[in-house]
Structure 1
Amino acid sequence: RSFNVRRATTNDILGVKMLIKALSLNESILNDLKIFILARRDSDGTPVQAFVAEVLDQIVGISVIRDEMDIEYIRSHYNIEDFIHFNHYQQEEHGHLYHFILNPIFHHYTKHFLKEILRLAHKSSLYYPIYPQYVKGKFQNPCAHSLTSALHYMVPVRPRRQIVYPLEELGINAPSEQVSKDQPSYSLNHINRKLVLASKVSINTRIVVVGASDVGISFLETLIFCPHLKFNNLTLISIHGLPGKDLSGSEHRRFLINSHCFNDEDYAQMSLCSWVNVVVGKMSGINRAAKYVVVSKEKKVPYDYLVLCMGQKYQVLSPTGADISKLPTNREVISKWPQRYTGKVPSNHFTLNDDQDCLKAMHWLKENVVNSEGNVIVYGNTIDIYTTVETLLSLGINGSRIHLVQPPLSSNVTCLNNNEIESAVQEALSKAGVSVYYDSILAQWNEGDDPDLITCAAFTTNTKPFKLQCSAFFSFAYRTVDYETFKAINDACLVFDGRLVIDTEFCTNDVSIRAAGPLTKYSRKYYVDEWTHSNFNSKELGFELATSMLKLFDPIPKPFSKPPEDSDRLIPMYKGCKIKGGVLPGGYNYLHISKPEIPIRLDLELALCDHGMEIITGEARHGNYFRVHINKYNMVDSITCFSKEPFPVSNYICLYGQHERLLNDLYYRWNEGQITDLYSYFREPWSMAIYHDRFIDLKKELRQVLMSEQVRKM
């Protein structure tokens, strides 16, 4: 009853100083308070307002806000229109929350404090950014914001996908600098008059996610951005914690192919660390009866629902142990290959699975290999071998010191699956002096014993074996479920059949444990052994997994619709595209976007009667190759780019699934010979509409108009 909120005055300085003396940013808060008392505005003219909360004449809270001067940037980069009708408000009604401190005893008055701030300041909305804290104690933003206890009552705002504008081509049609300017990415939180009066449903269920894979991050993102639900007990267990937190540049990330599901900007705009508890470590056991996960063999993390999405990892491959002095061939050793290596891993053997592995490998190479003699062996036949070779070359390692050794293919589909691109890559490898060996199985390290350091490696082939001197060994030959993960799953009596077995609703044989991603496979009752989550887009899988679990928590009843008969015998077919991109030998930027499918050789696919049509411009060896495949329904269902120049990947992803007529009559113009370069064609001003994040809404609205009765009568 006596909780009173008013504008700050000079007499409040001492009380505020006592309230905030233990806070790390107390000087910043006091300075902002003094600016308000002395001038009411910043040196750049931005209006400042400060409010205090008092109980029985004692200051128990302080808040400082400024007018939001960047509202056009916010509107263009965040979906604030999910919460307000933007055009109904004046610019000065938007405020920027800089500081909000409230004595914990009065935390339950937070909403009242916010409501009073909005009333007294004549504001309709407040915005609070969270910048990524890459270095402990150092904020990336120019104006330090104190951490706010009001965050619990604010809603995180989804970021909007941005168009990569070709500013030179657009000229006067380019967006204003206010919208297109580069500035540090941040997560935006929002409160308005309506939200202050609405209460979010608190979900205290303990949800534990194991694995910071694309699936896991997408799952958490979907839960966090539910505006009417507040998940208070989300936990992520990951070997290296949250992704996207290192400032070491992106050079080391070129080792591995990129799925383009998330980048550093996305992680900054999500600010998962604000909503998710992070346990750094590796899952080593699951106690289903007591419902807890054992992490790194010592910590216990309790759960109500456990979500497993660790994926598959490159494993250390065991040499077959063949005695090369007896000149064995692959035929004699293939039965022992591939097998997991169980000994101590040599210090110069690398399996790269995430950014931290890549960073560690790059530092080691710079210290031990770049400026010395010795060979680097890259072993495997996934696309990561090519990106790794290109990264080694870019580090300054001479091509003659790099040996690319490829084991026999497990299927007849190569990782690039495009003869023209493969020829250009082989030509680039040859030009750089990189030696390439085919159909080679690892026989020995050194002299056949388990070494601390690999000095040479021997391989068998279909004819005679060979031996290579070795200073560093990169292995991409064996990707499967990690052994410790398998043991934890198997010991918990979860059904494991090469991968963790799930049904169409992501459920394992335990109702409290869900799983998704390449770690899993569908139960054999569906008769679809060739279809697994590896065939689908990981971001979409995470979203669908979250959607399936939200039914358990969301109190708002949904209209009941009976599923079609026998639908429980069919696996769901997800529609999102699979993406892989990276830099290949020769400095070629590579991007391949395709529909979810079982891999098939491109030449066999071209021979199918219902294949559709190919539109290709440029040549791979000239570094200007662009291929678009249009299916029999005239929809774009695969795109391949192979270019010396960088290109806007996020724009090209928007082309997938579009009808060719929407692409400015692509097929007609191609037939008429009007298109000679697809790169420049998709930079033309008309294409910007297709790259817009709300183009899909426009399509839906136009469809509704066309389907309406009035249009039909016309």
Structure 2
Amino acid sequence: PIFRNRLRFLMREALRFSSTELLVYMASMETETFAPLIGELVLVPPRRMIDHPQNAQNPAGRDDNAPDDVDSLACLYHSSRKSLSDEKTKIHARIVVVGAGTTGLAFIHSLLSIPYLQFTNILLVSTDGLPLHPNQQELNWNSDSLDFLEREYMTLRIGKRVRLLEGTMIDFDKFDKYICTDGSNCEPYDYLFITAGRQYAIPRELVSQHGAKNGVFPLCNQHYIAKIKQHIHESEIYEDDLSSAVIFGTNLDVFAVANNIIKLGLAPQRVVIVSPDSGTVNPFGDPLIELKVEELLLSLGTKILKAHVLERLEYDEDNNLSSVVVTPVDGNRGKSVEVNATMFIYVHDKDIDSH
């Protein structure tokens, strides 16, 4: 700590005494890092490697018995005598980024990657905090996941260069320049970037005032995903073979959700997929793949209703979901179908998060 204000001089003298020109520092989540030191160094962007298949048995050409590389997710930083002689320009402006989606994280990553600037006050406001990389998650509920490499993503977590505030922004004052969150926190800012994005939102006319507590779940954040897991593991109502879980949507997320809830222990026979599309939209981009996936689900006992739209949700006396009523897109072609269900997962239309 006593050398904190003279880090660049200390590193420059270390290079001089060791007769070297380049200083290399590797940091990871498993090692203790000194945040001020990382701020003075320059990030080495990771390369995107291409795997060339060598044989059919081992397409990636890797040794399956080889030990995992402990530095596979480490971040590499460097500095030289010349770069240490040029002081980085420190930006102390209060930068607040709302939303931890691909856009918001890419913006922060771009700021941290500028070699001649050091941002000292970046705040990320997110409902779920800083999410894990899709490769680090046990279950992926969304098909449109982050486009970062894991090494690129780790630059946001290593060194604590980004301050996190878990919560939802509910208001902001552009004259006094501060934001308010649902946790009664007020944060001042000099620059505000709102990258909340679009999330799944159930039409208001279909949802009661109790929202997700009664078995209706929009797949919009980790809170609702936790509710889905809790509902599957703790609800005794799934001991009844007549109760089902209805998934409503037309995209790849529908199949991701179906796969995950089956992995969580829900019998495939209790899963019902309802799609308002009559066959014009192919979420896989290949008709053959879509056909094979649907055949697999049908062989497991999963029911698929195409060209059906949501008509209404029925609740019991305790305001718990009891059934889902769907009707054909063309009402003259058939009658409405009532599915006995205690869980309804909505993955159809997205809207800007206004909550």
Q: TM-score range by the shorter chain?
A: 0.7 to 0.9
The equivalent of 2:198 in structure 1 is: 312
Provide the C-alpha distance between the structure 1 equivalents of 2:134 and 2:5, rounded to a whole number of angstroms: 36
Q: Is the 8 Å Cα contact of residues 232 and 266 (structure 2) preserved in structure 1?
A: no
- Structure 2 residue aligned with 1:350, among 217, 220, 227? 217
- Structure 2 residue aligned with 1:152, among 39, 53, 57? 39
2:202 match: secondary structure? coil
The gaps in structure 1 that reach 5 residues or longer are: 1-101, 133-139, 321-340, 485-714
1:242 match: secondary structure? coil
The gaps in structure 2 that reach 5 residues or longer are: none
The equivalent of 2:4 in structure 1 is: 107
Return the offset for 1:430: 1.7
Provide the C-alpha distance between the structure 2 equivalents of 1:130 and 1:455, rounded to a whole number of angstroms: 52
Q: Is the 8 Å Cα contact of residues 370 and 397 (structure 1) preserved in structure 2?
A: no
Q: Where is the strand percentage greater, Structure 1 or Structure 2?
A: 2
2:186 match: secondary structure? strand
- Structure 2 residue aligned with 1:226, among 108, 111, 114? 114
Change (3 A) 1:452 1:155: farther
Letter in 2 for 1:388: V
Does 1:205 pair with 2:76? no
Pairs within 5 Å for 1:283-298: 283-296=169-182, 298=184
2:321 match: secondary structure? coil
Does 1:473 pair with 2:336? no
Q: Greater CA radius of gyration, 1 or 2?
A: 1
Q: Is the 8 Å Cα contact of residues 404 and 437 (structure 1) preserved in structure 2?
A: yes
Does 1:194 pair with 2:82? yes
Q: Where is the helix percentage greater, Structure 1 or Structure 2?
A: 1
Does 1:426 pair with 2:294? yes
Q: Normalising by the residue count of structure 1, what TM-score does the alignment of the two structures yield?
A: 0.44
Change (3 A) 1:281 1:303: same
Does 1:384 pair with 2:253? yes
Return the offset for 1:238: 0.7
Change (3 A) 1:147 1:109: closer
The equivalent of 1:129 in structure 2 is: 26
Letter in 2 for 1:309: T
Provide the C-alpha distance between the structure 2 equivalents of 1:370 and 1:121, rounded to a whole number of angstroms: 70
Does 1:241 pair with 2:120? no
Per-residue Cα deviation, 1:126-151 (whole angstroms, up to 9, x for no partner): 2333322xxxxxxx2xxx44535433
Answer 1 or 2: higher relative contact order, Cα 8 Å, separation at least 6: 2
Q: Is the 8 Å Cα contact of residues 313 and 323 (structure 2) preserved in structure 1?
A: yes
Q: Normalising by the residue count of structure 2, what TM-score does the alignment of the two structures yield?
A: 0.83
The equivalent of 1:560 in structure 2 is: none
Identity across the alignment (%) = 23
Change (3 A) 1:269 1:290: closer
Q: Is the 8 Å Cα contact of residues 458 and 467 (structure 1) preserved in structure 2?
A: yes
Letter in 2 for 1:227: P
Pairs within 5 Å for 1:494-643: none
Provide the C-alpha distance between the structure 2 equivalents of 1:307 and 1:108, rounded to a whole number of angstroms: 31
Q: Is the 8 Å Cα contact of residues 286 and 292 (structure 1) preserved in structure 2?
A: yes
Provide the C-alpha distance between the structure 2 equivalents of 1:170 and 1:471, rounded to a whole number of angstroms: 44
Return the offset for 1:240: 1.2
Provide the C-alpha distance between the structure 2 equivalents of 1:346 and 1:208, rounded to a whole number of angstroms: 30
Provide the C-alpha distance between the structure 2 equivalents of 1:176 and 1:446, rounded to a whole number of angstroms: 54
Provide the C-alpha distance between the structure 1 equivalents of 2:351 and 2:85, rounded to a whole number of angstroms: 51
Runs of 4+ in 1 over 4 A off after TM superposition: 167-171, 174-177, 354-357
Letter in 2 for 1:163: I
1:426 match: secondary structure? helix
2:104 match: secondary structure? helix
Letter in 2 for 1:237: V
Return the offset for 1:165: 4.4
- Structure 2 residue aligned with 1:375, among 229, 232, 244? 244
Q: Is the 8 Å Cα contact of residues 126 and 165 (structure 2) preserved in structure 1?
A: yes
Does 1:281 pair with 2:167? yes
Per-residue Cα deviation, 1:419-445 (whole angstroms, up to 9, x for no partner): 333322322222121111233333333
Q: Is the 8 Å Cα contact of residues 212 and 224 (structure 2) preserved in structure 1?
A: no
Return the offset for 1:266: 3.4
Letter in 2 for 1:200: K
Change (3 A) 1:400 1:342: closer
Letter in 1 for 2:43: P
Provide the C-alpha distance between the structure 1 equivalents of 2:340 and 2:40, rounded to a whole number of angstroms: 62
Change (3 A) 1:152 1:262: closer
Q: Is the 8 Å Cα contact of residues 133 and 146 (structure 2) preserved in structure 1?
A: no
Return the offset for 1:401: 1.0
1:392 match: secondary structure? helix
Provide the C-alpha distance between the structure 1 equivalents of 2:191 and 2:343, rounded to a whole number of angstroms: 42
Change (3 A) 1:193 1:208: same
2:211 match: secondary structure? coil
- Structure 2 residue aligned with 1:215, among 93, 97, 103? 103
Q: What is the aligned length? A: 344
Does 1:456 pair with 2:323? yes
Return the offset for 1:113: 1.5
Letter in 2 for 1:162: M
The equivalent of 1:117 in structure 2 is: 14
**Aligned Cα root-mean-square deviation (Å):** 3.4
Return the offset for 1:212: 0.5
The equivalent of 1:397 in structure 2 is: 266
Change (3 A) 1:175 1:233: same
Provide the C-alpha distance between the structure 1 equivalents of 2:56 and 2:277, rounded to a whole number of angstroms: 47
